Structure 1
Amino acid sequence: MRIWDGTQAAELIGHTGPVQAVAISPDGTWLATGGDDRVVRIWDRATGTQTAELTGHTGPIRAVAISPDGTWLASAGDDSRFRIWDRAISAQSGAPTGNTRRAAAVAVSPDGTWLASAGADGVVRIWDRTSGTRIRQLTGHTGPIWAVAISPDGTWLATAGDDAVVRIWDRATGTQTGELAGPDGSIYAMAISPDGTWLATACGPDTVLRLWDTTAGAQIGELTSNDWIKQVAISPDGTWLATGGGADLVVRIWDRATGTQTAELAGHRSRVRAVAISPDGTWIATADGDVMDTVVRIWDRATGTQTGELTGHTGAVLAVAISPDGTWLATTGADNSLRIWDRATSSTVTYMRSDRTLTCCTWTPDSSAVAAGGSAGVYLYNFTPGQHGPGI
């Protein structure tokens, strides 16, 4: 793991295998990583030093989540164990167990007092954060669960997976209060609206994105595409959605109220690999991962027209992230680089190289750093506007 401020300032060494999970603390001062070496490592973002090593897992770690107040974290992995750690003393404060197969998804409640986990055994488990004990077990799915989402108010949760059903659960009682069943097919994408009153699901092989009323448990709309939908994102205000990932190489914009397609973003040469919506919802950035098309495209949300291109990568672009303030973009690619772009000028303001391909990236909440990951590990790049320049 490397720390960058235009040029490399520090190197974070510790993991002995690929890193599978990364989480940044709410205040952006530290981060946690987990991977195939079965260790959760805590890093100081300012100095780049490892401050703690959390051991106990007996298999690769697949997921890491930090509590809303940053005082504790949770990890899950192939050993079917869901562990709770105290951030201050770097000790395990709880070790929820009970998964009979790999834990594939974990979510933390808005108030940070409980957690939900699910996996290949088709069971949802609710855990008490303080004691690490299992509060209840939610059964009903008949296949692996791949998605867990908690409502904005923390009173209910939704789960989905291979049995083609989204199940709505009451958090207080643990009872199933709704069942959203569409056609046969694994549900690969699910998103809950910002106000929690509806959600969207996509399953394959299917070309329909379904909208559901979370209170009534009834389908309230369908968005029919011309190709398989593998990605779905809901706008910040919940009035429109973006879908993509099909062989038709198109990103579609949909009006949530009418269910009609309002724009089609066409121009990619391969399946769209990355889609990011700006914080104000007025523009979109996309990339398709084609080795012959290394361009990041900027689109106007209202008109659906392409308004800019970011050129500079010499390999396929694999990830796009927009800074929380909407000023910068970060991209990673098969050319082993991470680039930072100025949204206003569409120009590269700095770039960094890694030893291997970087496949994902995300900004810290204050837009001052980018975390990127790939086969060689996790890298944290500091970014100080006005004090940067291209560097390796």
Structure 2
Amino acid sequence: MRLWNKSTRLQAEFSFNKDSNPEIRSLAADPNGVWLAAVDSERSLRVWDISADRSAVKNLDQALGLRRATDGKILLAVASSRLIVSDSKNSLQVWDLVAKSKLEKIDISGQPDSISVSSDAAWAATTYGTESVGLHKIDQPAAEVTLRCAGPVTSTAFSPTGSYLAAVTSKGTLEVFATDSGTRCAFMRVDGSLSCSAWLPRSSAIAVGGLRGLYLFEYQDEKLSSSTAATSERRAATAAPE
């Protein structure tokens, strides 16, 4: 596994085991540029402090109790020294990477297809291959909010401030929700299905990709800074819900 520095054009290589080269099955990078976490095909979990270019946490898979069976997908999300892990159980485990201790266990609706976390680690979102998104306030694990979308959700992304959650669907819709209320604030539709999304750091721009290519939307809100990023297609996503 390799990490590239865009500014210096240098790369660092990370290895689970010098004697083997296992397949990487799940990967998560801290939006603050400090932590990198990965799970290999042997279901071993490693976390690196990439700001110091060293392996900071080892053998965390044993502490997490990850199964050694071949079934069950392990999902990761990391931000602000918080690691969120989901295996084949109906729960999320939240770990403090600095203290190397477990903080919370969050019950969820089922086995998730994906998880995402806000940059301040205040919020987490889970998708299940359905029209629902589970929105979780991490310090209040019992308070799950279900967000309903216009189609099966394929990807979610939090805004840089954590104030909003963007969700894209296989029906070609992009929807933006306020995290504090669960209210849908914006709705856009494109031709063809959408499969991935990313909210650009320090920006109001949301990048989404799918069957017809890449789109860049700008969500105009006073809580977010304006974006001047160039793209092949730009549209404003400020419409009221459909």
Same-fold status (TM-score > 0.5): yes
Which residue in 1 is equivalent to 2:125?
285
Q: Secondary structure at the match of 1:114?
A: coil
> What do residues 133-190 of structure 1 show as CA deviations (whole Å, max 9, x unaligned)?
xxxxxxxxxxxxxxxxxxxxxxxx2335xxx53xxxxxxxxxxxxx4x68x8423235
Q: 1:113 to 1:295 in 2, by over 3 A?
A: same
Q: TM-score, normalised by structure 2?
A: 0.73
Cα distance in 1 for residues equivalent to 2:38 and 2:204:
33
Distance 1:388 1:187, change over 3 A: closer
Partner of 2:238: 388
Structure 1 residue aligned with 2:94: 253
**What is the RMSD of the two structures over their aligned residues, measured on CA atoms?**
3.4
Q: Which has the larger radius of gyration?
A: 1
Q: Distance in 1 between the 2:64 and 2:119 partners?
A: 26
Name the SS of the counterpart of 1:378 in structure 2. strand
Partner of 1:243: 85
**Equivalent of 1:322 in 155, 158, 161:** 158
In the other structure, the counterpart of 1:187 is: 24
Q: How far, CA to CA, are the matches of 2:200 and 2:39 in structure 1?
A: 29
CA gap 1:272/1:307 in 2 versus in 1, 3 angstroms: closer
Q: Is the 8 A contact 1:232 1:243 kept in 2?
A: yes
What is the distance in 2 between the residues matched to 1:341 and 1:218? 34
Which residue is equivalent to 1:202? Answer: 39
Q: How do residues 160-175 of structure 1 correspond to structure 2 at under 5 angstroms?
A: 160=15, 165=17
The 3 A distance-change label for structure 1 pair 190 and 315 is closer
The residue that corresponds to 1:301 in the other structure is 138
SS in 2 for 1:223: helix
Q: Which amino acid aligns with 2:79?
A: S
**Percentage of identical aligned residues:** 22
| Higher RCO (CA 8 Å, separation ≥ 6 residues) | 1
Aligned residues: 219
Cα distance in 2, alignment partners of residues 262 and 373 from structure 1? 34
The equivalent residue for 2:8 is: 113
- Conserved? CA contact 1:106–1:115, under 8 Å: no
Q: Are the aligned partners of 2:159 and 2:165 in contact in 1 as well (CA < 8 Å)?
A: yes
Q: Which runs of 5+ in 1 are unaligned?
A: 1-104, 117-156, 166-178
Q: Does 1:345 align with 2:181?
A: yes
Q: CA deviation at 1:325?
A: 1.8
Question: TM-score, normalising length from structure 1?
Answer: 0.48
Provide runs of 4+ in structure 1 moved above 6 Å.
Answer: 192-195
User: What secondary structure sits across from 1:247 in the alignment?
Assistant: coil
Contact 1:235–1:277 under 8 Å retained in 2: yes
Give 1:378 shift: 1.1
